[in-house]
Structure 1
Amino acid sequence: MATQTTVKTLLILGASGDLTGRLLLPGLARLAAKGRADGLTLVGAGSDPWTREQWLERVEASFADAESEADAAGKRELKRLAGSTSYHQLDVTAGGELSALLSGLPAPVAVYFALPPQVSQKACEVLTPEEVPAGTRLVMEKPFGSSEESARHLNTTLAALVPEDHIHRVDHFLGKATVLNILGLRFANTFLEPVWNRNFIEKVEVIFDEDLALEGRARYYDGAGALRDMIQSHLLQIMALMTMEPPASIDERDLRDAVATLLRASSIKAPYRSSTRRARYTAGSIAGRQVPDYAAETGVDAARNTETLAEVQVDIDNWRWQGVPFILRSGKAMRAKRKEAVVTFKPVPHLPKGFIGVDSPNELRIGFGPDTLQFDVDVNGPGNVLSLDRITLNAELSASELLPYGEVLEGVLAGDPLLSVRADTAEDCWRILEPVIRAWASDTVPPEEYPAGSTGPESWTV
């Protein structure tokens, strides 16, 4: 493994884009305000002809919330970071432009590709190994490639430029606190491991429903859809953490080996009309806010039939999980925000005669953002001790003081690849989804519709 050196410069490509202003810069601001980005230089670059003043205006606006909450030292650090920043107009796909910029920046440099995947690919292809300064880290947003073949090609391109442990394929949904909360729950409790298998678990659902609609992201989203945007990356990773075998340690090698082994055993089986579903929202309202039909949104090509709600059943072909369905679902413009994993246990084999009331299977629910734990159990009473009633045990799990992108950036700056998706895993996630993508492209699975603000199509059981 290459020697790790703390990054001195963060170069954001696509600095004038939505991702940078909405997520990256606020994440960096919280990190800096907590004293965890000392000495860092921030540089923005993009195709837009921005002046330094326009860039500084974006930086200061994105830093405002963190500054209002920071102590005196945090305010000084944010002021230093903003005061030393610069912006450069360049075409990252033109040979020589990105390398010329890199050569003049304090090294090591972390290059954050806040760009469409195809642009990031082209930018890396025009770089040569000699043009990449020693210690450079390359940070790639999801989706990583657009297929197993393209992901493999991108991996080959990146590997020619920097070592694998200097490549960060980021998944901001998997913050460090979330990862460690899942691992702590699974592997620090003796009572849980004996029942964490096909003998006691009926099904597992991983759900990421948003009450947001397109929100001006048609340029990216209409070419991706819910399957590629969320299930291919985020939800498969959550599933892997919940189902992998116990690692020897939580070091990046042991942990990512366990994730990779689990994903290699995973697949979505035909017929895809039974194992997958897709739908698109129509006009409706969410909390009193009117939402237009997705097909009528600006920038949408209705003929693409891009899904805004996707659900797949993943099968894990190993000893522990054979026969247990893993349901992964993600949707936009839903009635309510819902980000959780739900583990449904099998019913008891025999309930002694004499008990009355409802006896329902136990459910364990792990919420994400904020991270919570809920366990539904049946207990006696009150009043009639023979009557069973459902109660929920609640707990709040450890939370990070950083925003999700702050956690991602901290790992990048410190050279910690724990939260990065490894090369083989990035390819395997596409391998799992590609048969579904082909089936949907050929209309093997007809698209359905649901009104914005609903729980999905009427034919779906939610």
Structure 2
Amino acid sequence: MIDRLVIFGATGDLSARFLLPGLAALRAEGHLGDRFQLVGSDRSDWDDGQFQSWAASQLERHGGGLPTDARKAVVASARFQRADVTDSADVASVVAGDDPLAVYLALPPALFPSAVTALHRAELPAGSRIVLEKPFGEDLDSAVELNRLLAELVPEEAVYRVDHFLAMTTVANVLSARLANRVLEPLWNSTHIAEVEIVWDEDLALEGRAGYYDSAGALKDMVQNHLLQLLCLVAMEPPVSLGERDLRDRKVDVLRSVRPLTDDDVVHRTRRARYAAGRIDDHDVPAYVDEEGVDPGRRTETFAEVELEIDSWRWSGTKFLLRSGKALGADRKEVTVRFRPVPHIPFGHGGEVLPNVLRFGLEPEGLALDLTGMGPHARTFAPFTLTARMDPPDLPPYGRLLLDVLTGDPALSIRGDEAEEAWRVVTPVLSAWERDLVPLQEYPAGSQGPS
């Protein structure tokens, strides 16, 4: 297990909200020992004490529910070293040493190529690992180039292109529900399933993220990585094992099987929109174009919807709908599996029989199955729902990802060819949207989205 974690961009929002609490959770569960060392680095003119004080305050704010001794241990393990991540001499001074380390690039994606180049020149200790946040590249060409740079730095198995969605408990339950239950796997195909919806709708607006979000938009921020990852887990063939090679091979198969979208497909099977001024709960929300840091000329979408088909024996004829939107009237974060109706109802006219629906709640986590039973009157039907609550995980998603990085398990990270295939899926959409083949609609903040 690696005992030294270097975070470039250590005083940013990612470290404060997720990485520091993730490390404290690992310490609380006994996964980090006294030898562990956290090295924070960025351009701040700080010393160890200032970094430790900042880390303690952020852990109090974002990880206050974690044990005090675990938080104190993470703070005590931390030191700080000022560096420009694009300067190879600076980087070399931060990563110097003989033992392998993990390098976490908690940076804007635009800095990844320069940072990876600097790390290559600095010569990482043998056995080191590198972690990159999404999005991986800005388009297919940049993803291919970044993969080339990484291949010169470390072996593919030492590259962790992380997506915290894959570490969520319910995402794992998608696989276990399919593969560990005989009642579901025989039905998991187009003969029985008409449509799968993968939705991440949230009532949060921009929340000060214009610096990143306005250059990405909903399609790149959510659909290209998070939602396509969920699509892979829903649609993949059963792997031989959950080892990194078997699992990731089957995920790539799904992306390669997605039917390429023509311009006409994009026009009829995608939607894009951005929120206008409105009201969410008890507060007013300005229009997206009026948010601080937004460039209206970019025509960035805050709502993206894409309908895909998979050309495979299992899924021919099933529709897959991926959607994500901001500043909506209600949160809806789930994978919804809609089964086809039964072919015949032998009870006569007893009312409407709705198709079965299986829902995997992502946030909050849970499971629900809509069924039809007999109503209070003879030969009448009534819907009912079976629900299950998931036990809380022992680790938060970023704790799980950090543990995989430190112990060397890349199964939940995204392989290089998988990242490129995901860009191939959305490239026709990006191209058609850039040419305005699909109108950019508007919807009031607090509404259900574009009509």
Moved more, 147-156 or 162-171: 147-156
SS in 2 for 1:389: strand
- Kept in 2: contact 1:268–1:312 (CA 8 A): no
The answer on 1:207 being equivalent to 2:199 is: yes
Question: Deviation digits for residues 77-104 of structure 1, max 9, x if unmatched?
Answer: 4323312311122111123211221015
Instruction: Using the TM superposition, give the Cα deviation of residue 269 of structure 1 relative to its aligned residue in structure 2, in angstroms.
Output: 1.9
Q: Deviation above 4 Å: which 4+ runs of structure 1?
A: 65-71
Choose which of 359, 363, 368 in structure 2 pairs with 1:369. 363
Give the Cα–Cα distance (whole angstroms) in 2 for the partners of residues 94 and 47 of structure 1: 11
Instruction: Using the TM superposition, give the Cα deviation of residue 268 of structure 1 relative to its aligned residue in structure 2, in angstroms.
Output: 4.8
The answer on 1:61 being equivalent to 2:53 is: no
SS in 2 for 1:173: helix
Question: Deviation digits for residues 370-410 of structure 1, max 9, x if unmatched?
Answer: 321110011102x2131111111101234312221111111
Question: Deviation digits for residues 314-359 of structure 1, max 9, x if unmatched?
Answer: 1101111112110000111111111101111111212225242221
SS in 2 for 1:449: strand
The residue type paired with residue 10 of structure 1 is L
Give runs of aligned pairs for residues 38-437 of structure 1, distance below 5 A: 38=33, 39-64=35-60, 69-70=65-66, 75-104=68-97, 107-128=99-120, 131-175=123-167, 177-270=169-262, 271=264, 272-381=266-375, 383-437=376-430
Give the Cα–Cα distance (whole angstroms) in 2 for the partners of residues 449 and 273 of structure 1: 17
Compute the TM-score of the two structures, normalised by the length of structure 1: 0.93
The answer on 1:12 being equivalent to 2:7 is: yes
Moved more, 337-346 or 177-186: 177-186
Instruction: Using the TM superposition, give the Cα deviation of residue 309 of structure 1 relative to its aligned residue in structure 2, in angstroms.
Output: 0.5
The residue type paired with residue 226 of structure 1 is A
Moved more, 181-190 or 124-133: 124-133
Q: Indicate how the Cα distance of structure 1 residues 212 and 130 shifts in structure 2: closer, same or farther if over 3 A, else same.
A: closer
Give the Cα–Cα distance (whole angstroms) in 2 for the partners of residues 396 and 351 of structure 1: 32
Instruction: Using the TM superposition, give the Cα deviation of residue 67 of structure 1 relative to its aligned residue in structure 2, in angstroms.
Output: 7.0
Choose which of 30, 37, 51 in structure 1 pairs with 2:32. 37
Moved more, 127-136 or 164-173: 127-136
- Kept in 2: contact 1:30–1:66 (CA 8 A): no
SS in 2 for 1:242: helix
Moved more, 433-442 or 94-103: 94-103
Question: Deviation digits for residues 44-75 of structure 1, max 9, x if unmatched?
Answer: 1112223433322221023226875455xxx4
Question: Deviation digits for residues 123-163 of structure 1, max 9, x if unmatched?
Answer: 11233366111121100000001112211111111111111
- Kept in 1: contact 2:134–2:161 (CA 8 A): yes
The residue type paired with residue 390 of structure 2 is L
Give the Cα–Cα distance (whole angstroms) in 2 for the partners of residues 179 and 253 of structure 1: 19
The residue type paired with residue 53 of structure 2 is E
Question: Deviation digits for residues 251-276 of structure 1, max 9, x if unmatched?
Answer: 11111111111111013523111111
Moved more, 127-136 or 232-241: 127-136
- Kept in 2: contact 1:29–1:62 (CA 8 A): no
Moved more, 342-351 or 442-451: 342-351
Q: Indicate how the Cα distance of structure 1 residues 233 and 417 shifts in structure 2: closer, same or farther if over 3 A, else same.
A: same
The residue type paired with residue 251 of structure 1 is G
SS in 2 for 1:127: helix
SS in 1 for 2:346: coil
Give the Cα–Cα distance (whole angstroms) in 1 for the partners of residues 233 and 405 of structure 2: 21
Q: Indicate how the Cα distance of structure 1 residues 162 and 329 shifts in structure 2: closer, same or farther if over 3 A, else same.
A: same
CA RMSD of aligned residues (A): 1.7
Question: Deviation digits for residues 161-189 of structure 1, max 9, x if unmatched?
Answer: 11111110000111163343111100111
The residue type paired with residue 315 of structure 2 is W
Q: Indicate how the Cα distance of structure 1 residues 82 and 263 shifts in structure 2: closer, same or farther if over 3 A, else same.
A: same
Give the Cα–Cα distance (whole angstroms) in 2 for the partners of residues 283 and 268 of structure 1: 35
- Kept in 2: contact 1:343–1:364 (CA 8 A): yes
The answer on 1:443 being equivalent to 2:436 is: yes
- Kept in 1: contact 2:347–2:379 (CA 8 A): no
- Kept in 1: contact 2:131–2:159 (CA 8 A): yes
Moved more, 77-86 or 303-312: 77-86
Give the Cα–Cα distance (whole angstroms) in 2 for the partners of residues 53 and 130 of structure 1: 27
Give the Cα–Cα distance (whole angstroms) in 2 for the partners of residues 29 and 333 of structure 1: 32
1:3 aligns to what?
none
- Kept in 2: contact 1:35–1:77 (CA 8 A): no
The residue type paired with residue 360 of structure 1 is L
Q: Indicate how the Cα distance of structure 1 residues 285 and 76 shifts in structure 2: closer, same or farther if over 3 A, else same.
A: same
The residue type paired with residue 94 of structure 2 is L
Identity value in percent: 48
The residue type paired with residue 342 of structure 1 is T
- Kept in 2: contact 1:355–1:388 (CA 8 A): no
Choose which of 424, 432, 455 in structure 1 pairs with 2:448. 455
Instruction: Using the TM superposition, give the Cα deviation of residue 76 of structure 1 relative to its aligned residue in structure 2, in angstroms.
Output: 3.6
Q: Which runs of 5+ in 1 are unaligned?
A: 1-5
